[in-house]
Amino acid sequence: MTSTSSAFEYAPAPESRSIVSIAPSYGLFVDGEFVDGTGEAFKTVNPATEEVLSEVASGSEADVDRAVAAARRAFTRVWGPMRPADRGKYLFRIARLLQERAREFAVLESLDNGKPIRESRDVDVPLAAAHFFYYAGWADKLEHVGLGTGPRPLGVAGQVIPWNFPLLMLAWKVAPALAAGNTVVLKPAETTPLSALLFAEICQQADLPAGVVNIVTGAGDTGRAVVEHGDVDKVAFTGSTAVGKSIARAVAGTQKLLTLELGGKAANIVFDDAPIDQAVEGIVQGIFFNQGHVCCAGSRLLVQESIHDEVVASLQRRIGTLRVGDPLDKNTDIGAINSAEQLARIRELSDIGEAEGAQRWQPACDLPAKGYWFPPTVFTDVSPAHRIARDEVFGPVLSVLTFRTPDEAVAKANNTTYGLSAGIWSEKGSRILKIANELRAGVVWANTFNKFDPTSPFGGYKQSGYGREGGRHGLAAYLKGADQ
């Protein structure tokens, strides 16, 4: 490890966790109430301390069946026939309740996920509320979505979400589904079920009719039961490309509609005319936001050859000031890796990076003794064939490659089976627009990175999936048009 000048000392500034009360155990949320699961309960831990936070029910096939039946009843009897404006009002209520209890959600999210409170407080939770507020307004305007007159909901949506943005991914899935008139059965990730269960309480406080939202916790088997259930009309999944493929296979030959938001290996392209200081901030934001547990993370830095040394030096200097540690500390930049399993994967791929000949650089930083931690890492001398340039690491690991011409930058950026996102850094507008045009990626951030908004469609090209979340495009995933 190379040492850089460490940041000056801060006194600890932890957010109080007293705002959250976590029950020793949780059941499933089915038909408006918490019920015992019939599968074997599992523990969810705080990845920063390895402390067990709670025991959570695991949904069996029978549990999923009950949840789907409840969702079907609610769709047929209550939510489907309801005046669209009233559906919207329920969603507005949910948005407001999320705002009212925002700090509680933020602390809970950081405890269960390991992400810095600065991010859960300033990004995850406000964006989740914003998604509900945005889609609430659509509920009585669906004929303006652009699918022709009289668009119809699909019915029961089965939704499976990942652990990197537990509440936000819930909002991305649930808000448009409900606004379009569907009911949902949602399976949160195994390692981060708690914010979804707190969301169930929000549904109760909102007096949302029973069965409109059902939350079935569990692992892969539970997710499979949701996806493969015969009375589910729509499947929405965010997660790995491997699981996405198996889901696409599972729904083949059925009438289920499918949207997939899968992995990525985004190129973040820095041209020699870029504002270097801004670009370095953007690179850091692109790869170290949420410990790099971001499908759209800017994990492949493509730097024009002439400025490579300058950018890397500046980047290392900046990374040396990042604070890794207690997720609840307001000054923390990088929190805990979400699970022991994910940490093992990050370590494995990093070791392969070194074994294949890339140079690993990590700042000197003290990592807590307990919990799952990985320091921010930069690989230089990376070739496009290296696994750290091709595989999604899903951790705080940046691979640096170079290019000479804009054409080479585009060719290298597009040389991946993924196509979720990309970044461009340049002060030249015409260059930005041309490169943005040529990149085969669903989201292109120019002179910024990792920005999200409910009005802005998000989703991938190629093996990063299909369908969009956000904007009116996000509604199309939950509606049948007149001509369909």
Partner 1 sequence: MIGNDRLAVRKTYKLYVNGAFPRSESGRTYEVTDSKGHFLANVAWASRKDARDAVVAARGAFAKWSGATAYNRGQVLYRVAEVMEGRHLQFCEEVAAAEGLSSSKARAAVDAAIDRWVWYAGWTDKLAAVLGGANPVAGPYFDFSTPEPSGVVAVLAPQQSSLLGLVSVLAPVLTTGNTAVVVTSRQRPIPAVTLAEVLATSDVPGGVVNLLTGDAEELGPWLAEHADVDGIDLTGAPAGRAMEFEREAAGTIKRVVRPPATEPDWSAEPGLSRMTPFLETKTVWHPMGV
The set of catalytic residues is 261
Q: Residue 295 CB, nearest distance to partner 1 (Å)? A: 14
10 Å Cβ neighbour count for 414? 17
Q: Residue 158 CB, nearest distance to partner 1 (Å)? A: 17
- Say if CB 421 and CB 395 are below 8 A apart: no
Q: Please, which residue, 136 or 324, has the CB nearer to partner 1?
A: 136
Please tell me the distance from the alpha carbon of residue 60 to that of residue 100, in angstroms, as a whole number. 33
Q: Residue 475 CB, nearest distance to partner 1 (Å)? A: 13
Q: Please, which residue, 13 or 242, has the CB nearer to partner 1?
A: 242
For residue 54, the SS3 value is: strand
Q: Residue 179 CB, nearest distance to partner 1 (Å)? A: 17
Q: Please, which residue, 374 or 478, has the CB nearer to partner 1?
A: 478
Q: Which string of b and e fits 311-337 if b means at least 16 CB within 10 Å?
A: bbebbbebbbebebbbbbbebbbbbbb
For residue 178, the SS3 value is: helix
Q: Please, which residue, 29 or 165, has the CB nearer to partner 1?
A: 165
How far is residue 141 from each of residues 131, 182, 475, measured CA to CA in Å?
Answer: 16, 15, 11
- Say if CB 465 and CB 264 are below 8 A apart: no
CB neighbour class for 345 (10 Å; exposed up to 12, middle 13-18, buried from 19): middle
Binding-site ranges for partner 1 (CB under 8 A): 130, 146-148, 241, 244-246, 248-249, 252-253, 260, 262, 432, 436, 441-448, 451, 453, 455-459, 461-466, 468, 471, 473, 476, 481-484
Q: Residue 7 CB, nearest distance to partner 1 (Å)? A: 27
Q: Is the dihedral of CA 8, 10, 15, 18 positive or negative?
A: positive
Q: Please, which residue, 327 or 459, has the CB nearer to partner 1?
A: 459
